[in-house]
Chain A
Amino acid sequence: DAKTTQPTSMDCAEGRAANLPCNHSTISGNEYVYWYRQIHSQGPQYIIHGLKNNETNEMASLIITEDRKSSTLILPHATLRDTAVYYCIVRVGGSNYKLTFGKGTLLTVNP
């Protein structure tokens, strides 16, 4: 699986949009971009994934650049409960392919 680069930490004000970047310059054509998050003392939670088109669900939006070398996870109205470590993972799609986690980005939402 391609490696990813994420900032170690970010801050965001409550109610504002949180934009979390991820670089994946060596991504292959059949690899998807996945985002998970891990709230303190909990297991990771799936957020969203995409291949090349932008994706949106009830939790977040995923913007993937046209060359697919980077992406941004957007939490449109961050709350205190969104404080967590966010992991960007690139992998071949389907459940039979393992998740390889990096260190992720610690997002702290401040009141």
Chain B
Amino acid sequence: QQQVKQSPQSLIVQKGGISIINCAYENTAFDYFPWYQQFPGKGPALLIAIRPDVSEKKEGRFTISFNKSAKQFSLHIMDSQPGDSATYFCAALPYGGATNKLIFGTGTLLAVQP
């Protein structure tokens, strides 16, 4: 069964620090890796995404790093702010699928302390 393993389960970071969330997958047949951000009482929303032909993608303070050989990808939040406090999910889309069926990680609850 295809799986995406996410760590840590929870994370506390001081304001201005770097938040790092890691994910690993067990199947090579994924070709799209999005990250979703979820605030309390809201549904997850797409934050940033990467394809495996790129090793890094940056959007503002958010960066995805992708290591294809290690089957790992991570989210880095630079200069973390209290407003970044949320649950973050990594996900992976099976390669060549005609569907948009994502495999989600278990989520990381991030708390950024002021």
Check if A and B associate. no
Binding site for B on A (CB under 8 A): none
